[in-house]
Amino acid sequence: MAENPVAVVFKASNRQEYIEAVKSSFVAIAKRTVLSALVSAAPFMAWGPLPYLSGLFVEWVLVKAANGAETGIFFMFVDFRVAVQHKDFEAAAIKNYRIQQTGTKEEKDAAEKELVAAVDAFVKFNRL
């Protein structure tokens, strides 16, 4: 039986990198969601420097949330590696985390798009 490719990724990385990858994914995906909702609720937020400034602020808040005590414990103890359907998300999260550290702008954008696609396939969002 072939070895699970996600297991190979995790053998090569440590648990802390896995946690950081999931946190990074949380921030990237939540930032897009929050900014989209913000512009939908207040269209003027799409003008001039406001998208950039609000993006910085939203990311700062989300990083604080991801590193907060309760959320940090959640990321440490919730392990998504329980079923094979999560492998694409996990692989995309690790890849995105690594590329965000050292990649070019194009590589970072491509990795983030791959991550969002993996999340869309992994999670079904209900629109209100």
Mean pLDDT highest for which of 9-13, 32-36, 63-67, 73-77? 32-36
Question: What tens digit of pLDDT does each residue of 6-30 get?
Answer: 444 444 457 777 778 888 888 888 9
Phi-psi region of 88 (alpha: psi -120 to 50; beta: other; left: phi over 0): alpha
Residue extents of the structural domains in the chain: 5-122
Q: Token pair of 110, please?
A: 């491509």
Question: How far lies 20's CA from each of 4, 95, 102, in Å?
Answer: 21, 12, 15
Q: Determine the residue type at 124.
A: K
Question: How far lies 48's CA from each of 35, 53, 73, in Å?
Answer: 15, 10, 38
In three-state secondary structure terms, 82 is: coil
pTM above 0.75, yes or no: no
In this structure, how many other beta carbons lie within 10 angstroms of the beta carbon of residue 83?
Answer: 7
